[in-house]
Structure 1
Amino acid sequence: MTRANKVWDAEKASSSDLRQVRSACKAMPAANRQFADGLASSSWPSEAQESISLLVDEVRGDQLAWKELSEVSSEGKFFNPMNPLKEDTKTPDLVRAHLGLPAAEDIEESE
């Protein structure tokens, strides 16, 4: 997942883009919640259940961050949010491994 500050760091956006940032993030809280709920309500092999639960917790942990980004009113609040997005973890790769799937980076490299 690309973090929002990397957009500014790459000088591909500025404070004049805050309206577009809000617009782009507007649907994310609901989409994020739907994704977490879908993961939580699905049946998984027992060997993957613990890593799935961890992934669900991580996804739900970003709910407030997405809401805040969808309402950000200043560049300062964008760079110093009260609820920052969590850093990427290895949990998705752990889930994929438990399900017998290749790591995402292996798929991207082969395409």
Structure 2
Amino acid sequence: MRWSMRKAGLCAAILLLAVMMLGACCSKEQGRGTFAVNVKVIDKGEGDDGQYWIMIAYPDKKRLKSVDKIILAESVWNTVQIDHKYTVRYIRQEDGTYSFSAITPLKD
């Protein structure tokens, strides 16, 4: 009887571990991808709708298509300076689009 209690306890522990590992693998966050890109802020402003934005250019590209506009919270927008370089992080959403995640100063 003592041996079967140990087996039952061991089986329960293995089952719990398997469930936890499966849960970690199937997490929604696991399906998202993140990436970072170095940019230069070329302009910033506040829209009529009260949204704060920055225009960024990718330093290694020279075409106009390499310019993007990002909407930021006012507290973050206040820390961003024109003509400075930053690393911008994006998160891939479940629908395939990307959303802004973070911006940090780039040290040369």
> Normalization by structure 1: what TM-score?
0.23
Q: Tell which structure's C-alpha radius of gyration is larger.
A: 2
> Normalization by structure 2: what TM-score?
0.23
- Higher relative contact order, structure no. (Cα contacts within 8 Å, ≥ 6 residues apart): 1
- Which structure shows the higher helix fraction? 1
- Which structure shows the higher strand fraction? 2
